[in-house]
Structure 1
């Protein structure tokens, strides 16, 4: 199938130009109006059946010549509320918004893969749904599912790529089973009583309670959970107080709880009970009130064994060797997990870490960038895995 590699290489310049255009014009979740417009027009010109879904989501359907299974290929489109500091000629022109997670590359790769696969529709048994998802950073997959993306025609299986700077360029992260963590985000407000720092006995200090909570939460993962089970409780923000000599009346705390458990629902219930028990105990002991809420998030991402084998075969054909694989798991969240909980799926990582090109910064970093030489690998694996699955 060397003709596939040749076609990918012929479209590499277009692939990189698409990625740079998306990178220069990033948009936040459910605000991907420009991005989804380009995607919609691109797929329409390919002759696909195209529809908008879940506000700014786009789905293109390719029907093969013969009936068969339906495969979903998914890319995410949203960017992050972050100021870019790369200084690249194609850096973000939208102030305070940046593609710092590779979604610009995901979208470009799937568009070009769709263009190539359209050429072979007479050789395809079944259908391919090219799904361009909005708002991955805040659980947009569930919105697409609720609006029927897995139906009409019913999706039998799904693949997705994540470009990944923690892995070296030329590596492929591929693992069966749970590979990305379940995620619970939380917002916590500690309510005290404001006052003067010269008369602390007349106030109730929520900052003192907050500091105790932040430190004590770590005891859950080190003292109450089996150390062989991955868990990370992290506080990402604290806001409280208005002046050096003023005791605040409230403190806001926000963070994440990530875990990879075997019996996810049961263990999550126990974990969250312990989480609130600790907060409640400290607040009662320090005479402050609290308000705790969880933000909609995602379950664990589960890679199906049979689907993973299709990706392994396609990757070996793409790279021409079998020493590229890394057994990789991450405590980051990824809402492709919602699809993986419903249909046999595999998400795999394409390494992007290249010291010489400066693409080793972690995801969500203001200096994040992609090794664009790896984009062609993603396109080729998309094409080969789709043909392999549908024609098996």
Structure 2
């Protein structure tokens, strides 16, 4: 069975689905119309599914004629609050919202995979669970609630892929162990004492205190985390908006912490609070904080990751299967991997010009979806006979 040839026959529908979704994006936890689109696709085929799984999630199930394992495949379908600035016929029609990370391509890919599996069901072994997940981009994400609602019940293994604008079409990136980082975030309000700019001795300047806090926090990675480990602490927001002759009464800071191991994650949180409290004591100021424990690290299982590597090497449409360097980006696919064996890999979809994910000009080479579909199909079907 040549799965790439099966996918190639669906090329136009694959593109049509992706472009429709690109033109009609919906933000995390607001994806009702996208969910209905997915449901309508399966309704037309006759594929059974469950709607409203953990929120807006959709889970379709295809059972082969022969007994076998239960393989789950996952694709996310939420968009981002970004204005689409591309000059293309399929540009987003929703102001300030666009698919700037490839989730439209993920959904199109999995729908076509589902269509092909449905066509082949009489000759397939096992069961195939197609997880269409809402809200990957916004904590707490959709994976956790979908798992709680039973999307992994009876599942033996799970595979997922992310289209990457940073890698050429035909390239598959895999990695055993930690591949993507745990993502925590924080919002701090510093309470000082405002006053007249001409009388600083009567104040507790929230801007000065906040600036000192930023500098102190930057020492955590360089002086608290082992150089053998990896961590990132970034301050993304610092707001204290006042007139030029007003010393700030309050300042608000926000940022993110990224780590790969739970030990480093706990260390960073512990030291973060120690530095925060110490800085406030030094300046006789107070604070409030919202510290959000986000997605855990994506930790791929060895057997399943090497299995996907071997699958990639079998497919003619894959020109390069390579071991990836870990990335500090986050993904709630991590939750699935905490429950069942599996792996998450990258599929190249470089659009021909350099543009990162989450950018107003983001796009993909749609041929990457064909490779992604072939990879998921081959992995799902071949896993039935894998030891």
TM over 0.5: yes
2:288 aligned residue: 291
SS of equivalent residue, structure 1 residue 126: strand
Q: Tell me how far 1:66 sits from its aligned partner.
A: 2.3
Q: Does 1:327 align with 2:358?
A: no
2:152 aligned residue: 150
2:342 aligned residue: 345
Cα distance in 2, alignment partners of residues 144 and 248 from structure 1: 44
Q: Does 1:311 align with 2:305?
A: no
Residues 310, 388 of structure 1: 8 Å contact kept: no
More displaced stretch, 338-347 vs 80-89: 80-89
Q: Does 1:243 align with 2:243?
A: yes
Q: Tell me how far 1:320 sits from its aligned partner.
A: 5.5
Residues 83, 366 of structure 1: 8 Å contact kept: yes
2:83 aligned residue: 83
More displaced stretch, 99-108 vs 321-330: 321-330
- TM normalised by structure 1 equals 0.93
Residues 302, 345 of structure 1: 8 Å contact kept: no
Cα distance in 1, alignment partners of residues 69 and 92 from structure 2: 40
Cα distance in 2, alignment partners of residues 94 and 243 from structure 1: 36
Cα distance in 2, alignment partners of residues 110 and 118 from structure 1: 12
2:232 aligned residue: 232
1:24 aligned residue: 23
Cα distance in 1, alignment partners of residues 196 and 248 from structure 2: 9
Q: Closer, same or farther in 2 for the Cα pair 1:226/1:24, shift >3 Å? A: same
Q: Does 1:379 align with 2:387?
A: no
More displaced stretch, 136-145 vs 379-388: 136-145
SS of equivalent residue, structure 1 residue 34: helix
2:108 aligned residue: 108
Gaps of 5+ in 1: none
Q: Closer, same or farther in 2 for the Cα pair 1:320/1:147, shift >3 Å? A: closer
Residues 210, 251 of structure 1: 8 Å contact kept: yes
State the 4+ residue runs in structure 1 displaced beyond 6 angstroms. Answer: none
2:359 aligned to which of 354, 357, 365: 365
1:121 aligned residue: 121
| Aligned pairs for 1:105-254 within 5 A | 105-137=105-137, 138=139, 139-151=141-153, 154-254=154-254
Q: Does 1:36 align with 2:35?
A: yes
Gaps of 5+ in 2: none
Q: Tell me how far 1:192 sits from its aligned partner.
A: 1.5
Residues 184, 295 of structure 1: 8 Å contact kept: yes
SS of equivalent residue, structure 1 residue 252: strand
Cα distance in 1, alignment partners of residues 32 and 322 from structure 2: 36
SS of equivalent residue, structure 2 residue 375: helix
SS of equivalent residue, structure 1 residue 241: coil
Q: Closer, same or farther in 2 for the Cα pair 1:44/1:328, shift >3 Å? A: farther
Cα distance in 2, alignment partners of residues 320 and 295 from structure 1: 41
Residues 31, 134 of structure 2: 8 Å contact kept: yes
Q: CA RMSD in A?
A: 1.6
